Structure 1
């Protein structure tokens, strides 16, 4: 059974946090991406709540959490600070971090902080920052697939969405990724209710506007940023990457080269699923997650 509470953080942000599972179970913090909320994990909860303490915040700008309107409030370091402030507030000294989409981007960044409380990392369809930026410059297919980021950054994009209507935006968001018929009407209503709250959709878009990732237009040659040609720190914690191979936004080439950036890496490819893997095929995430944690937790 999922419970929900709002937790004020030392960062000045209050997050709506859903929880499930035993309070004394191994703690797992799960971070969702765009355009979702803690409900990203709705299919995983019944598969994991028997054993694990599941902590599922709505990240800043989404659903039931605070939604500051300045894009600068969505720089990656501020969002990572929210994560560790939540860990502080809950008194966690040993946790597993799971991230999907933008939640995965935060999770990669958090793992690179080498905080001793973060013991294990699980990534679901979220590219490593080095590989993603490199692919946006060097791979024309990934660059083309990512042009939506430029659209989301455009001033007034939220007005265009309001003009087209939330139903149309819902269809555009998920068509091509999942079978729309597989999303129940009540879930669609939840998405639209979250997006249409005052200020929330602008805050959601600010994740793209506040991010440092560079998305060149098609056909333009650009030099590699300095951080791509310097030595990049390795992820030290044991890491499981689960990837829906039909992802049309984040292409499977994002897996290439991961083994050189992570000291202890396990990759699980899911051939018959796409970007929204956590709720499209939750068992395909839960099963390797349980196996991975059993080997790392000794239980």
Structure 2
């Protein structure tokens, strides 16, 4: 199955784009993209998911074809989660499977925190678990002990006005650094072209950077979550060649869920586009299990 072209929803929180695919009356699986991508990142995976599922793939605020918002506060991850929940409410989606990659994985966790009774199963891919304070602290200590050079782009985007001055007109070079050099077996040209188009929309250099500019406020929120355990079944699919989400992020992950399984994929950060069949296979088995 393929995903639709972007559709648009007007909600009390703003105007957002989304794609859908699969069975229109099937059980919903909500798939949340990360940075610097859009809902298109699930296009390849959609072709391998169980045809009985209904895919709902939103474009997060400031990315894809959703609205660009200038202020910082709406890019806090708990606020982005409320955006998605508002979209699901508008679509009449009650309970669902939930998938998130990269920052979308954080937003998915915030959704699961906000409406745990609606999230039947939770899949996270290549991002920190926000209540894994012990494991995340170990990562920080390891990064500080080294050069930390892989994280330069985060500091770049947190610098006031710098992304806005340097990215416009250079979108292909900017995205190519991540999408192509971070990929083990190459990055699909159709997806690359879509993200260049999306990042060329006015305001995206700033709205994309705002995901990183709000990180410190997010971290303050997560600092009080050490005792939280996700009540719904969890699946963590890990691309083992990621340069930024290193294996240490998996330390102590079992303490964060009532039940969780970890599946490793021989891929880098953008595993859903590098190995869509394998990623979808893990999801299908997880969703089908009692």
2:225 and 2:12 map into 1 onto residues whose CA distance is 34
**Other-structure match for 2:257:** 262
For the pair 1:125 / 2:126, whether they are aligned, the reply is yes
Q: What secondary structure is seen at the aligned counterpart in 2 of 1:202?
A: helix
**Other-structure match for 1:161:** 167
**Other-structure match for 2:287:** 293
1:230 CA drift (Å): 7.2
Question: What's the TM-score, normalizing by structure 1?
Answer: 0.87
For the pair 1:192 / 2:186, whether they are aligned, the reply is no
Matching of residues 99-118 of structure 1 within 5 Å = 99-118=100-119
**Other-structure match for 2:278:** 284
1:148 CA drift (Å): 2.5
1:43 CA drift (Å): 0.8
Tell me if the contact between 1:6 and 1:17 (Cα under 8 Å) persists in the aligned partners: yes
1:246 and 1:197 map into 2 onto residues whose CA distance is 31
1:98 and 1:118 map into 2 onto residues whose CA distance is 10
Tell me if the contact between 1:29 and 1:96 (Cα under 8 Å) persists in the aligned partners: yes
**Other-structure match for 2:141:** 138
1:39-93 CA-to-partner distances (Å, cap 9, x unmatched) read 1111111112611100011111012101101112211221111121112111122
How many equivalent residue pairs?
A: 283
2:92 and 2:225 map into 1 onto residues whose CA distance is 36
Q: What secondary structure is seen at the aligned counterpart in 1 of 2:202?
A: coil
Question: What's the TM-score, normalizing by structure 2?
Answer: 0.89
2:37 and 2:167 map into 1 onto residues whose CA distance is 16
Tell me if the contact between 1:33 and 1:100 (Cα under 8 Å) persists in the aligned partners: yes
1:161 CA drift (Å): 2.2
**Other-structure match for 2:182:** 177
1:133 CA drift (Å): 4.4
1:157 CA drift (Å): 2.5
Question: 1:283–1:180: structure 2 CA closer, same or farther, 3 Å change rule?
Answer: closer
1:172 CA drift (Å): 1.4
CA RMSD of aligned residues (A): 2.3
Unaligned runs of 5+ in 1: 216-224
Tell me if the contact between 1:74 and 1:211 (Cα under 8 Å) persists in the aligned partners: no
Matching of residues 1-299 of structure 1 within 5 Å = 1-3=2-4, 4-11=6-13, 13-48=14-49, 50-131=51-132, 133-140=136-143, 144=148, 145-158=150-163, 159-162=165-168, 165-178=170-183, 181-184=186-189, 186-212=190-216, 228=223, 231-270=226-265, 272-296=266-290
Q: What secondary structure is seen at the aligned counterpart in 2 of 1:56?
A: strand
Q: What secondary structure is seen at the aligned counterpart in 2 of 1:28?
A: strand
Tell me if the contact between 1:120 and 1:238 (Cα under 8 Å) persists in the aligned partners: yes
Unaligned runs of 5+ in 2: none
1:85-106 CA-to-partner distances (Å, cap 9, x unmatched) read 1121111222011000000011
2:54 and 2:221 map into 1 onto residues whose CA distance is 40
Q: What secondary structure is seen at the aligned counterpart in 1 of 2:238?
A: strand
Tell me if the contact between 1:137 and 1:143 (Cα under 8 Å) persists in the aligned partners: no
Question: 1:31–1:231: structure 2 CA closer, same or farther, 3 Å change rule?
Answer: closer
Question: 1:188–1:228: structure 2 CA closer, same or farther, 3 Å change rule?
Answer: closer
Tell me if the contact between 1:19 and 1:55 (Cα under 8 Å) persists in the aligned partners: yes
